[in-house]
Amino acid sequence: MACATGTSKTALLYGHGLGAEVKGIGSDGALRPGANTWRFASYGTTPLSDRWFIAPAVLAQSSKDRYVDGDSYQWATLNLRLIQEVTQNFALAWEGSYQYMDLQPEGYNDRHAVNGSFYKLTFAPTFKVGSIGDFFSRPEIRFYTSWMDWSKKLDNYANDDALGSNGFQIGRRMVVRYANGDLVLTATGATG
């Protein structure tokens, strides 16, 4: 493969009321009529050589008055994926993520105000029907293992979520792209 030019996409999204769930308009019926969300996303891919690709991403979101008057949910994420093409249809992917969160639920659903960050490293052997170099082509089957750690302050957010759990996550993921969107089938399991 000859080195090609990279691609990038940038978006600024705003949602109000039920539209404040900007990644799934109307999917969260608990949103207040006065809920407001801003989301920024910028990501891209570019080849580093004939067999290496890089895919950085920056995302940030700020939401206010989502569930109760005065609540606030803010986060920012940095992500970097390196992909090594082994054959035309098989690659090894390494990914690192960092996210900072400031969550102020104002008591909604017995949640508690917290702030802090989490870190994640993932290794993912990936099989594709199309070329590995076409980052967004589907279908693909990805087996992955992730290590994750976070600020212990985040453990206090809720009593009924996974934050604070120990373990290593191993899973597999298959993504099939259709003309109107993706169908993502994911199966994961945690081991001690």
pLDDT at 21 over 60: yes
Is residue 2 a part of any domain in this protein?
no
Label residue 188 by pLDDT band (50, 70, 90): very low
Which CATH number does the domain housing residue 71 bear?
A: 2.40.170.10
pLDDT at 85 over 50: yes
Is residue 58 a part of any domain in this protein?
yes
Is residue 167 a part of any domain in this protein?
yes
Q: How confident is the model over 60-72, as a mean pLDDT? A: 96
pLDDT at 122: 93
pLDDT at 48 over 70: yes
Is residue 128 a part of any domain in this protein?
yes
pLDDT one-digit tens code per residue, 93-115: 999 999 999 999 998 988 899 99
pLDDT at 62 over 60: yes
Q: How confident is the model over 11-32, as a mean pLDDT? A: 91
Is residue 95 a part of any domain in this protein?
yes
Q: Is 2 exposed, middle or buried (0-12, 13-18, 19+ CB in 10 A)?
A: exposed
Give the structural domain span for 21. Answer: 7-191
Is residue 1 a part of any domain in this protein?
no
pLDDT at 184 over 60: no
145 alpha-carbon distance from chain centroid? 15
| Number of independent structural domains in the chain | 1
d(CA 174, CA 58): 24
**When comparing pLDDT for 54 and 187, which is higher?**
54
Is residue 79 a part of any domain in this protein?
yes
* Amino acid present at 64: K
For residue 135, give the DSSP letter.
T
Stated as kind and residue range, the H or E segment containing 68 is: none
Q: How confident is the model over 54-75, as a mean pLDDT? A: 96
Is residue 110 a part of any domain in this protein?
yes
Spatial CA neighbour of 66 closest among 30, 102, 111 = 30
